[in-house]
Chain A
């Protein structure tokens, strides 16, 4: 079936470095790609999203890039800070039309070392 693969599963960086998390999807009709951040013991919260008609989107230290041809999208966090430590989930819409839904990646545990 349709799925979303996310890598790496864990990522450790030094404070101030950049972090990159990558996801690939299988449904060529996917057109919506959100990223969620989940801090320990809390709910997932949307941090940025991108639609298929856009190749890149930025919001301060966070950016997402989308390559529709290769069916992959990435989250980029620059100048990482300890408060960026969390689990990050990517998701992609699949199905389209009445069956459209979001499928989530398996998550990346990001640890930012002070």
Chain B
């Protein structure tokens, strides 16, 4: 089954404790991206990757890092989480950036206290 898998689904942590949210897709998509979803703000792009070792900032990249060492994996790293990063996060992939549907993971609800 074609899918985007992200883990964990729920995460509660404290300010400053580094964390990683994993994302993996099995559709051989070159393009992957991370979004955060906040009430009234919709889906905002954090980082994206056009291919292995190619990553770039989205609209709200501050406080986040990503890596793309393999085509299928695109982890999101919060080196020093802060309460304003409490949000719902989605990983997504697509065959053709901006011209084909995004396939979303199931989401990770992060709470930073």
Contact = CB atoms under 8 A, between A and B. Distances in A.
The 4 closest A-B CB pairs, nearest first, are A100-B98, A106-B42, A93-B98, A43-B104
Interface string B86-113: 0000100000011111101111000000
Interface residues of B, number: 19
B99 A31 contact: yes
A83 B39 CA distance: 22
Interface residues on A, range: 20 to 34
Contacts of A100: 97-99
Given A36-B102, A106-B40, 13 more contacts: A31-B99, A32-B100, A43-B106, A43-B107, A44-B43, A46-B101, A49-B101, A89-B42, A101-B97, A102-B98, A104-B42, A105-B42, A107-B42
Interface of B: 40-45, 48, 58, 90, 97-102, 104-107
Contacts of B101: 34, 46, 49
Interface in A43-69: 43-46, 49
Contacts, number: 49
A104 B90 contact: no
A44 B43 CA distance: 10
Contacts of A101: 45, 48, 58, 97-98
